[in-house]
Amino acid sequence: MEIRVGYELVYDCPQPTPMMLMLNVHHSRASDIVVPDHLTTTPSVPHFAYRDLYGNWCTRIVAPQGQIRLRSAGLVRDSGLPETSEPSAHQHLIQELPEDTLVFLLGSRYCDTDKLSDLAWSQFRETPLGWARVQAVCDFVHNHITFGYEHARATRTASEACPPSGPMRQKRGFS
């Protein structure tokens, strides 16, 4: 199957504003790109691309004062098949992990682990380690959180999207 990818983002900048954009298809899918997802800006501004430590394509621009429109459209080939499952995957102790993986365990302004830890332990403490625990987390997210543009804002965090403690019957919006 082929999947169209793209975006149109419009910003009003009160002054020239440096931006670092991470909006491209990940390099690991390069062989699947049918139509490249090239960034265009209106007005046209110079942009400089680089790949970060995690393989993400990043673009640096300086948006001029006033309105700037960022656009891209591309086409990616995909099998449409779900990811393969690995039920025998082992959960390693933190002290066994390579140093370059530890950064992925840190909280961020979007994944506020200080607010999510209690919920995580209450929901998943009893699940078996390894693949089963990962699958339980994925199932929880699928059953309790839904994406919706109407909920979007630049400062929205994961804890704000999580259902309140107690009985969970409704999905809550997240973006």
pTM over 0.85: no
Nearest to 25 by CA among 71, 57, 69: 57
* CA separation for the pair 56, 27 (Å, rounded): 7
* Domain 2-77, CATH class in plain words: mainly beta
Cα torsion for 163, 166, 168, 170, to the nearest 10°?
Answer: -60
CATH number (3.10.620.30, 3.40.630.10, 1.20.1090.10, 3.30.930.10) of 94-174 reads 3.10.620.30
* CA separation for the pair 51, 56 (Å, rounded): 5
The 10s digit of each residue's pLDDT in 26-59 is 989 999 999 999 999 999 999 999 999 888 899 9
Q: Range(s) for CATH 3.10.620.30 in the chain?
A: 94-174
Q: Range(s) for CATH 2.60.40 in the chain?
A: 2-77
The 10s digit of each residue's pLDDT in 54-87 is 888 999 999 999 999 999 999 999 999 988 889 9
**Lowest mean pLDDT, pick from 30-44, 134-148, 155-169:** 155-169
Instruction: Count Cβ neighbours within 10 Å for each residue of 79-115 and write b for 16 or more, e otherwise.
Output: eeeeeeeeeeeeeeeeeeeeeeeeeeeeeeeeeeeee
Q: Is residue 169 over pLDDT 80?
A: no
